[in-house]
């Protein structure tokens, strides 16, 4: 362990094969987690056919509760808040296997366990974590993340949403609109961002039941059609000062740290999704017959399948090495 390189050092220093983690190194616990996720995918998702590819917020909530009961939402949460505090390899295994077969539900789950939970897990006070983190970890509460605005996408710090301290100093009053918010149709909490006095970019925990908070209609999307994506509108929403997340003026630190880990998990989802697609392609190529032979026997098709397998193997290797 002492010789093991950290972070990006593997690019600049000597690297031994002994430090390189590959899926063949999965422990018995890692394999048990993969099996549990696969059982959930087959039993709760694939068994519903096309149903999970249409927005149904009641069903999404029910499935998230089931995922919570099976521990699938708890990997990155500390044990004292009903989490499992698993290693990053386990966290990626969950995303990977969901990506392989869970369709739109993957986005619902990933958004909740990533940017819908991590801002609190990373930056919450003990009091904030006691109030919300156990609920998020078990699926009793659903988390959302509200950074994007109609005029602030990639350029997120161009946010127009404002927060003004009330005269009695007990509340921040939020006004503005967040766009494309995943799980907004049924979430309980949103980690959102506003400029205090129009300048200090700050993170807040806001409950969906707050007076003045409303959501717009579901977006009609080209893909991920079973996930809820809506605008969230803040109209004089009073947020207790205890719900400032991190420090006033340091909202970018909350946002970027949560997004970094969220993106890491998105990578695993993409690899899992590629693998699931690969299995379908191989099945089709072995069943489809042309010129009296299954098309997988033709060189061009064989080459395509081999190319897919190589690329998935390379991506999978990169992701589990990074997780380690």
Binding residues (CB under 6 A) for ligand FAD: these are 111, 145-148, 153-154, 180-182, 221, 224, 229
> Both tokens of residue 292?
């009296």
Q: Give the Cα separation of 79 and 82 in Å (integer).
A: 5
CB-based closest residue to ligand FAD? 153
β strands within the chain, DSSP E? 143-146, 162-165, 171-182, 189-196, 200-207, 213-215, 229-240, 244-245, 289-290, 293-294
Contact present, 308 and 281 (Cβ < 8 Å): yes
Cβ proximity to ligand FAD: between 148 and 177 the closer is: 148
Shortest spacing between CB 141 and ligand FAD, in angstroms: 16
Could you tell me the maximum CA-CA distance found in the chain, to the nearest angstrom? 81
Shortest spacing between CB 257 and ligand FAD, in angstroms: 15
Shortest spacing between CB 92 and ligand FAD, in angstroms: 20
Shortest spacing between CB 221 and ligand FAD, in angstroms: 6
Reduce the DSSP state of residue 38 to 3 states and report it.
helix
Shortest spacing between CB 14 and ligand FAD, in angstroms: 36
Cβ proximity to ligand FAD: between 93 and 237 the closer is: 237
> Both tokens of residue 312?
């998935």
Shortest spacing between CB 280 and ligand FAD, in angstroms: 23
Shortest spacing between CB 107 and ligand FAD, in angstroms: 7
Supply the angle between the helices 126-138 and 57-69 in degrees, to the nearest 10: 100
Cβ proximity to ligand FAD: between 55 and 239 the closer is: 55
Residue 77's alpha-carbon distances to 121, 137, 262, in angstroms, are 6, 7, 14
Cβ proximity to ligand FAD: between 148 and 243 the closer is: 148
Cβ proximity to ligand FAD: between 90 and 228 the closer is: 228
> Both tokens of residue 63?
């499935």
Shortest spacing between CB 182 and ligand FAD, in angstroms: 3
Cβ proximity to ligand FAD: between 157 and 321 the closer is: 157
Cβ proximity to ligand FAD: between 119 and 146 the closer is: 146
Cβ proximity to ligand FAD: between 89 and 232 the closer is: 232
Q: Give the Cα separation of 122 and 257 in Å (integer).
A: 8
């Amino acid at each position: 362990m002492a010789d093991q390189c950290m972070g990006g050092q593997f690019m600049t220093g000597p690297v031994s094969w002994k430090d390189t983690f590959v899926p063949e190194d999965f422990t018995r616990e890692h394999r048990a987690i993969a099996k549990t996720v696969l059982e959930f995918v087959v039993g709760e998702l694939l068994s519903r056919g096309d149903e999970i590819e249409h927005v149904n917020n009641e069903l999404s909530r029910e499935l998230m509760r089931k995922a919570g009961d099976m521990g699938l939402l708890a990997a990155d949460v500390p044990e004292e808040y009903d989490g499992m505090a698993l290693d990053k390899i386990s966290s990626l295994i969950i995303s990977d296997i969901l990506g392989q077969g869970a369709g739109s539900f993957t986005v619902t789950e990933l958004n909740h366990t990533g940017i819908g939970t991590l801002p609190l897990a990373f930056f919450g006070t003990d009091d904030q974590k006691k109030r919300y983190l156990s609920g998020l970890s078990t699926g009793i509460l659903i988390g959302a993340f509200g950074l994007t605005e109609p005029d602030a996408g990639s350029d997120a710090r161009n946010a127009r949403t404002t927060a003004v301290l009330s005269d009695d100093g007990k509340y921040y009053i939020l006004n503005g609109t967040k766009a494309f918010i995943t799980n907004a149709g049924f979430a309980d909490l949103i980690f959102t961002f506003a400029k205090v006095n129009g300048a200090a970019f700050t993170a807040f925990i806001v409950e969906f039941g707050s007076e003045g908070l409303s959501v717009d209609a579901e977006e009609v999307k080209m893909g991920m059609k079973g996930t809820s994506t809506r605008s969230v509108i803040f109209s004089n929403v009073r947020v207790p000062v205890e719900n400032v997340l991190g420090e006033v003026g340091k909202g970018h630190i909350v946002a970027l740290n949560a997004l970094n880990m969220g993106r890491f998990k998105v990578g695993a989802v993409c690899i899992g999704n590629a693998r699931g697609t690969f299995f379908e392609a191989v099945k089709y190529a072995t069943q489809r017959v042309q010129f009296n032979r299954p098309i997988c026997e033709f060189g061009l098709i064989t080459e395509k399948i081999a190319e897919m397998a190589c690329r998935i193997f390379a991506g999978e290797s990169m992701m589990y090495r990074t997780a380690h």
